[in-house]
Structure 1
Amino acid sequence: MAANAFNSASSPLALQEAVATPPKGSMGEMGEAGGKDALARLNEALKELKAVAAAPLLKRAIDALNREDFVNGGKWALKALEKDERNGVGWYLLAIARERAGDFESSIKAYEAALQLLPNHADVANDLGRLAFRMGMPVQAEKLFRHFMAQSPEKVDGINNLASAIREQGRHEESIEILKEALAQHPESALLWNTLGTIMNEQAELKNAALFFGEACRLDPKFAKARYNLSQVKIALGDPTGALEDCDTALKLRGSTADDREMMRLARSNYLVALGRLKEGWDEYEARLSSQFADVTHFAIDRPRWKPGMDVAGKTFLVVGEQGLGDEVLFANVLPDLLEKLGPNGKLRLGVEKRLIPLFQRTYPDADVTHHRTIAYATRPLRSLPEADLSNVDLWTPIGSLLREFRPSVEAFPARPQFLTADPERVAHWKATLEQAGPGPKVGLLWKSLISKDARHRYFSPFELWAPILQTPGVSFVNLQYGDCSAEIELAERELGVKIWQPPEIDLRQDLDDVAALCCATDLVIGFSNATFNLGAATGAKSWLISNPGSWTRLGQRENYPWYPRARVFSSPSLDEWEPVMGEVAQQLAAWVDSPER
């Protein structure tokens, strides 16, 4: 087939190289592959087919897709392509069927073939762009949406999709201008109001976000995504009850794609856990492993999968880390309980992030600890244990699934001060080295995450708001923050006259075993929940967590943090209001410095 201008942006190779992480916050509406209108247009296109022999087969494919029978829809499309492999409608129907069945690799290839054979059929470019966006590739999606709009400039969904792709690249003002211009022409479009709300939500302009999502719901009461998005604003405002109600309403409405419903289930799990309804929440949390997510991690582990209630005594049990590094540490809270269930004749095997191996091996010396590796395979993340022989494994599980069995309630969390063990020699080393930081208690600081997706910045206060904490007299502050912190450290010294001491000869991002020891050597760690905070708290460092009101990991608790009994929680009233909580931390820090307890 002849090359076309969009191959470089939308080829399977290009998709594999991109980061396959779709947005996880508020949902923009992009429709779904094979909507009723698109299938009706394809039905009309059949009348013009030259390959008469393929027409009845394609008609059967369309009928199957209309019934949401994607397996048979794909089969009939393949039969048609066997008769005419250059039939663009056949490739398009196959792409729709494969995507709706969750086979994204085949879907991409089929869409590309359809786009080459039907260059004037704008819906193909729109659908391929929507799939690229779904897989976390907004640059490629933008090119395809512009191609769609060049042929159909009047279509609201094209305008909306383009604005969404531009928004996802961080060009918020440009996206807002596109939407404002479109809303002037289409003020009754719930679709456009919803997308404008997603931008406000990402920028933590929560009142505007609620207003725009509310308008979308008013204009279209059956708009499931807008109702779900409203739930996201409510959780950010500290209203998990209202968030759960809106999410449940959204799940009952029709019109969402399968992956949208799974996203709603995942959000619902967060709301339930945030309300302290842990048993229900952990069951719903299994949605994180749904194959409907384009970026879901698949596990290359050909052993029986553990389920709650299974007898594990005397078994060789493999537990594999998942999510981010901080989550691997957080979920390790259950490992002592699992070891007890395995008993003296059982064997624990662990697959963790490579940098965590020394810490986990020291803590669990009788366990076999190895590293996992994740590669892009067929456009999806695939996790394996490349250096492990798994032939003797009886059962395995992703670590987060163990919560269903071992943490069904807040009361099920034990009062252990730690569940990972820092290197005592390195703790002693750092206690001695910290004397160089200055007089008074040594307080480690953490103020950001280096993860930029999911509008993650909303969950961290601007560094400028740390001023009242940094101005606490009698404290020597220690930098525990990984990544480039030079701008913030310079700002503190220039504007506040506060020196944040930089620990020597340590890579705060790579030397995680030493980072844990450093945290334990400080008198107190203050910060937001990132990987380092979890490392310090899991190894027993005294910790103060600055949290947002909708954080599910708080499990509905106000001040205590069940995962880490030595941690104390300070929560902001909402994601757009950090000053009160930063002031409270500063006040409590000053009191702690002067207290007999310290």
Structure 2
Amino acid sequence: MQEELEELARRNWLEDMEGDNLASLTETGYYFHTENPYKDCPNAFKEAVQKSKEGNLNTAVLLLEAAILQDPLDSEAWQMLGTTQAENENEQAAIVCLKRCLELHPNNLRALMALAVSLTNTGQRQDACEALHCWIRHNPIYRHLLRDRSPLDGSPLPKHNSQLVEVLELYQEAVQQNPCSVDPDLQTGLGVLFNLSSDFDKAVEAFSTALTVRPEDYLLWNRLGATLANGDRSVEAVEAYTRALELQPGFIRSRYNLGISCINLGAHREAVNNFLTALKLQRKNKNHLVMSSSIWAALRIAVSFMDVPELFQAATVGDLEFLMKAFNMDM
């Protein structure tokens, strides 16, 4: 159990996509749901945007899949499907979608930043640095900084730590370009880079700076929380996750992160409540029964600390209904 908890703490969120309602792997590497009630929806993308705002991530995913099946070259739909899957705690699916978006639209800055975050979450340090370098290279405000550093032809960056140092210096130089104003996207990239270098205090500072411009950005609050947690500041992390969930109650990633911090603080019942809430949200739409394996893994850890064998057995076999009843939660 300790090894499993440490694995979760490293933020390696690779998902197993399972279920009879999933189609075979497509050439893009993404699994589309075969039993999609929205496959013929004429305004699928527009409705997906609304469902996402409402926090109904499962339905948003299905609508976005429908939009893409109707137009496989819709880069905006691929981008939103990627960011929605990340919020829904399906990181590997998010990476596939964001990469497809960038194949169609290489200078999509939002997709590049989201991809960098997802790659960081899955421990792909070099690829995350590459994505952050591309963000500078395609950004009309900052790309001039590369003229004396490296060609703008997509050549590979130096490997390992030298790559991280180079990209970090690049972002710091970009910040100094206009010290009197704050670019929240630039600060987000800087925060990701400081996380990659394990300089969590500076990463906290970067995300906090971004929040001065976007105080209602629930994604930033979640990233701040994750950084605080990585820096062994779980109490503060709980506050940041709570704020993210106040802004977006359906944000499954943040609900999961909050549960992890509760485990770290020894609040095991609260952790279980958060994990069950996340799983309930993922299963809310009966046409989308895929639930995150990482949430189930964390739930098993939380209930193991409670020393109630029947609860652990239920978590092991994935009996959500039994667990919800045991903790007096409505399905």
Please, what TM-score do these two structures have when normalized by structure 2?
A: 0.51
Amino acid at match of 1:185: Q
- For 1:200 and 1:71, the matched residues in 2 are separated by 30
- For 2:114 and 2:67, the matched residues in 1 are separated by 21
The answer on 1:195 being equivalent to 2:185 is no
* Residue 241 (structure 2) aligns with: 251
Identity of aligned residues (%): 13
SS in 2 for 1:189: coil
Tell me the CA shift for residue 137 of structure 1.
Answer: 0.9
Equivalent residue for 1:266, pick from 230, 255, 260: 260
Equivalent residue for 1:126, pick from 98, 113, 126: 113
- Contact kept in structure 2, 1:22 and 1:294, CA below 8 Å: no
- For 1:142 and 1:396, the matched residues in 2 are separated by 37
Equivalent residue for 1:103, pick from 62, 72, 90: 90
**Aligned residues between the structures:** 239
- Contact kept in structure 2, 1:61 and 1:76, CA below 8 Å: yes
The answer on 1:149 being equivalent to 2:136 is yes
Residue by residue over 1:444-472, the C-alpha shift from the partner in whole angstroms, topping out at 9 and shown as x without a partner, is xxxxxxxxxxxxxxxxxxxxxxxxxxxxx
Pick closer, same or farther for the CA change 1:59–1:184 going to 2, 3 Å. same
Residue by residue over 1:483-519, the C-alpha shift from the partner in whole angstroms, topping out at 9 and shown as x without a partner, is xxxxxxxxxxxxxxxxxxxxxxxxxxxxxxxxxxxxx
The answer on 1:182 being equivalent to 2:170 is no
- Contact kept in structure 2, 1:99 and 1:107, CA below 8 Å: yes
- Contact kept in structure 2, 1:196 and 1:212, CA below 8 Å: no
- Relative to total residues, which structure has the larger strand share, 1 or 2? 1
- For 1:395 and 1:211, the matched residues in 2 are separated by 38
* Residue 136 (structure 1) aligns with: 123
* Residue 328 (structure 2) aligns with: none
- For 2:315 and 2:60, the matched residues in 1 are separated by 35
* Residue 268 (structure 2) aligns with: 282
* Residue 39 (structure 1) aligns with: none
SS in 1 for 2:294: coil
- For 2:106 and 2:142, the matched residues in 1 are separated by 18
- For 1:200 and 1:141, the matched residues in 2 are separated by 9
Amino acid at match of 2:94: S
- Relative to total residues, which structure has the larger helix share, 1 or 2? 2
Q: Which has the larger radius of gyration?
A: 1
Pick closer, same or farther for the CA change 1:77–1:104 going to 2, 3 Å. same
- For 2:206 and 2:94, the matched residues in 1 are separated by 32
- For 2:196 and 2:99, the matched residues in 1 are separated by 34
Matches within 5 A, 1:7-406: 23=10, 56-154=43-141, 170-171=161-162, 173-174=165-166, 176-187=168-179, 188-189=181-182, 192=187, 195=191, 198=194, 202=198, 209=202, 212=205, 216=209, 219=212, 222=215, 224=221, 225-226=223-224, 229=227, 244=235, 246-254=236-244, 258-270=252-264, 272-273=265-266, 281-284=267-270, 286=272, 296=294
Pick closer, same or farther for the CA change 1:103–1:247 going to 2, 3 Å. closer
How big is the alpha-carbon RMSD for the aligned residues of Structure 1 and Structure 2? 5.2
- For 1:83 and 1:227, the matched residues in 2 are separated by 37
Please, what TM-score do these two structures have when normalized by structure 1?
A: 0.31
Amino acid at match of 2:54: R
Structure 2 unmatched ranges of 5 or more: 1-6, 12-39, 147-156, 283-290, 298-302, 318-331
- Contact kept in structure 1, 2:204 and 2:227, CA below 8 Å: no
SS in 2 for 1:253: helix
- For 1:106 and 1:75, the matched residues in 2 are separated by 13
Tell me the CA shift for residue 184 of structure 1.
Answer: 1.4
Pick closer, same or farther for the CA change 1:82–1:230 going to 2, 3 Å. closer
Amino acid at match of 1:202: S
Tell me the CA shift for residue 152 of structure 1.
Answer: 1.6
Pick closer, same or farther for the CA change 1:58–1:395 going to 2, 3 Å. closer
- Contact kept in structure 1, 2:73 and 2:104, CA below 8 Å: yes
- Contact kept in structure 2, 1:213 and 1:229, CA below 8 Å: no
- For 1:196 and 1:123, the matched residues in 2 are separated by 14
Ranked by relative contact order (alpha carbons within 8 Å, sequence separation 6 or more), the top structure is: 2
- For 1:87 and 1:197, the matched residues in 2 are separated by 30
- For 1:108 and 1:101, the matched residues in 2 are separated by 13
